[in-house]
């Protein structure tokens, strides 16, 4: 199976699971479920849950066991996008080709939909922990995900991003922003999948390093795409940041170095995968390659 077929197959599997997670009861607060579902089911690449399931498979784990964590990871990612789009942050009108959550439901409900998704992610993971009699691997996977999403991870990256607006920043600060805002959830998806698949500590470290490299590649490619303009053509980020000056990998390092660095990170990621079963690692090798050329 080639990469695109594999991505499609896993995306379908994840979306089937996402459709099942919301209660269908007639409850006074059902508008919040509608708002959460609006953003959660609005498409997207589903990269993080796919990575989580695939890394579990890579280390010969039981993929079925990892599904609640994959769903939770996509919920955390979606919450971050809803909040990032708010007028108080990036003030975006479109996301994933659709109106942003606050444009449809208003700012108040959009904030609560993000909070609801974040909370529900932990409810879903804890349910698995409890159903499995507090098995350590599920607790460890949850710990990894919680750390990556918090102030020492994605939120930390977002904070430094916000306080750096309209300022000149050093390459070191830019790396901090990218490693936390973008890479942290990607890395945690790989590591959590590995933990649930009962990988050994050496394999976990390899998955962590691979996650860092593709996370940074992902962000550099995003910054390149911003210049090339493909995202705007696809209607993803129309209207954002018009009055804000944000440093990007390309604005700090220039286009030529950005492309060279992107290829260096890709090569490092691919090298790591030579340590795993060749057949199962093919997906990760092809993915690292694809992330350097993707156009959405
Ligand atoms: C609000 C706590 C908080 C964090 C926001 C995710 C994020 C952090 C900001 C979004 C802005 C941005 C460009 C972040 C870099 C990471 C990134 C490219 C996210 C978009 O991820 P994709 O491309 O989105 O995987 P889809 O829609 O495919 O899921």
**What is the structure's pLDDT at 243?**
56
Residue 169 backbone class (left: φ over 0; alpha: ψ -120 to 50; beta: rest): beta
Q: How far is residue 147's CA from residue 243's CA, in Å, rounded to a whole number?
A: 32
ipTM above 0.95, yes or no: no
The alpha carbon of 201 and the centre of ligand 1 are apart by a number of angstroms equal to 29
Nearest CA owner, ligand 1 atom 12: 182
For residue 232, the model assigns a pLDDT of 47
pLDDT-derived band at 246 (thresholds 50, 70, 90) equals: confident
Q: How far is the CA of 131 from the centre of ligand 1 (A)?
A: 31
**Per-residue pLDDT band at 110 (split at 50, 70, 90):** very high
Secondary structure class of 99 (helix, strand, coil): strand
Tokens of 72: 């939770």
Residue nearest to atom 24 of ligand 1 (CA): 44
Per-residue model confidence (pLDDT) at position 23: 82
Percent share of the chain, pLDDT over 90:
89
Residue whose CA is closest, atom 17 of ligand 1? 182
Find out whether the beta carbon of 84 lies less than 6 Å from any atom of ligand 1. yes
The per-residue pLDDT for 276 is 97
Residues sharing a CB contact under 8 Å with residue 87, sequence separation 6 or more, in sequence order: 102, 107
- Nearest-atom number in ligand 1 for the CA of 48 is 25
Beta strands 94-95; 98-99: pairing state:
antiparallel
CB atoms within 10 A of CB 78: 26
**What is the per-residue pLDDT across 113-125, written as a single tens digit (0 to 9) for each?**
999 999 999 999 9
Tally of residues, the chain: 296
User: Are 194 and 280 within 8 A, CB to CB?
Assistant: no
Whether 206 contacts 272, CB under 8 Å: yes
Measured in Å, residue 79 CA sits from the centre of ligand 1 at 10
Considering only CA atoms, which residue is closest to atom 13 of ligand 1?
222
Distance, in Å, from the CA atom of 56 to the CA atom of 66, rounded to the nearest integer, reads: 7
Identify the burial level of 28 via C-beta atoms within 10 angstroms of its C-beta, where 0-12 means exposed, 13-18 middle and 19 or more buried: exposed
| Alpha-helical segments (H) within the chain | 3-20, 30-40, 47-58, 63-85, 101-105, 107-131, 136-149, 154-163, 171-177, 184-196, 201-228, 230-233, 249-253, 255-273, 278-291
pLDDT band at 26 (very low <50, low <70, confident <90, very high): confident
Query: Under 8 Å CB-to-CB from 81, ≥6 apart: which residues?
Result: 39, 95
What domains are defined for the chain? 3-290 (1.10.600.10)
Span 90-112, mean pLDDT?
97
Q: Give residue 240's pLDDT.
A: 47
Q: How confident is the model over 37-64, as pLDDT tens digits? A: 999 999 899 999 999 999 999 999 999 9
Percent of the chain with pLDDT over 70: 95
Taking the whole predicted model, whether its pTM rises above 0.90 is answered as: yes
- Does residue 83's CB lie within 6 angstroms of at least one atom of ligand 1? yes
What average pLDDT does the chain have? 93
Residue 103 and residue 110: Cα distance in Å, rounded?
A: 9
CA dist., res. 153 & res. 147, Å (int):
6
Is the predicted pLDDT of residue 130 greater than 90, yes or no?
yes
pLDDT higher than threshold 80 for residue 78: yes
Using CA atoms, how far residue 209 sits from 203, 268, 273, in Å, is 10, 9, 10
In the block, tokens 């490299």 appear at 213
Q: How high is the pLDDT of residue 129?
A: 97
> How confident is the model at residue 242, as a pLDDT?
47
Does the Cβ of 154 fall within 6 Å of ligand 1?
A: yes
State pLDDT tens for residues 183-239: 999 999 999 999 999 999 999 999 999 999 999 999 999 999 988 864 444 444 434
Which helix (H) or strand (E) is 27 found in, with range? none
pLDDT at 296: 78
Residue whose C-alpha is closest to residue 181's, from 159, 210, 202 = 159
Q: How far is the CA of 24 from the centre of ligand 1 (A)?
A: 28
pLDDT score recorded for residue 245: 79
Helical packing angle, 3-20 and 278-291, nearest 10°: 90
Is 162 a pocket residue for ligand 1 (Cβ < 6 Å)?
no
* pLDDT in the model for residue 100: 98
Q: What is the pLDDT of residues 155-174, one digit of tens each?
A: 999 999 999 999 999 999 99
Under 8 Å between Cβ of 114 and 83: yes
């Amino acid at each position: 199976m080639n990469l695109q077929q594999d991505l499609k197959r896993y995306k379908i599997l994840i979306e089937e699971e996402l459709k099942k997670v919301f209660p269908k009861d007639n409850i006074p607060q059902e508008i919040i479920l509608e708002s959460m579902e609006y953003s959660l089911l609005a498409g997207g690449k589903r990269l993080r849950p796919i990575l989580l399931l695939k890394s579990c498979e890579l280390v010969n784990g039981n993929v079925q066991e990892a599904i609640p964590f994959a769903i939770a990871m996509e919920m955390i990612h979606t919450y971050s996008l809803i909040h990032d789009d708010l007028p108080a942050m990036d003030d975006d009108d479109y996301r994933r080709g659709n109106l942003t959550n606050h444009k449809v439901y208003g700012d108040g409900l959009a904030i609560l939909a993000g909070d609801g998704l974040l909370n529900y992610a932990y409810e879903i993971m804890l349910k698995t922990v409890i159903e499995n009699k507090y098995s350590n691997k599920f607790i460890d996977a949850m710990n990894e995900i919680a750390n990556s999403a918090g102030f020492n991870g994605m939120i930390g990256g977002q904070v430094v991003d916000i306080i750096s607006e309209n300022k000149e920043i050093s390459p070191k600060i830019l790396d901090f922003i990218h490693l936390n805002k973008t890479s942290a959830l990607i890395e945690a998806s790989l590591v959590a999948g590995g933990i649930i698949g009962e990988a050994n500590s050496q394999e976990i470290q390899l998955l962590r390093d691979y996650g860092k490299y593709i996370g940074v590649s992902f962000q550099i490619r995003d910054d390149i795409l911003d210049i090339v303009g493909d995202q705007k053509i696809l209607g993803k980020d129309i209207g954002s940041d018009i009055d804000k000056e944000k440093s990007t990998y390309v604005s700090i390092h220039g286009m030529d170095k950005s492309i060279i660095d992107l290829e260096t990170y890709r090569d490092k990621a691919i090298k790591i995968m030579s340590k795993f079963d060749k057949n199962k690692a093919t997906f990760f090798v092809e993915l690292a390659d694809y992330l350097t050329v993707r156009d959405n």
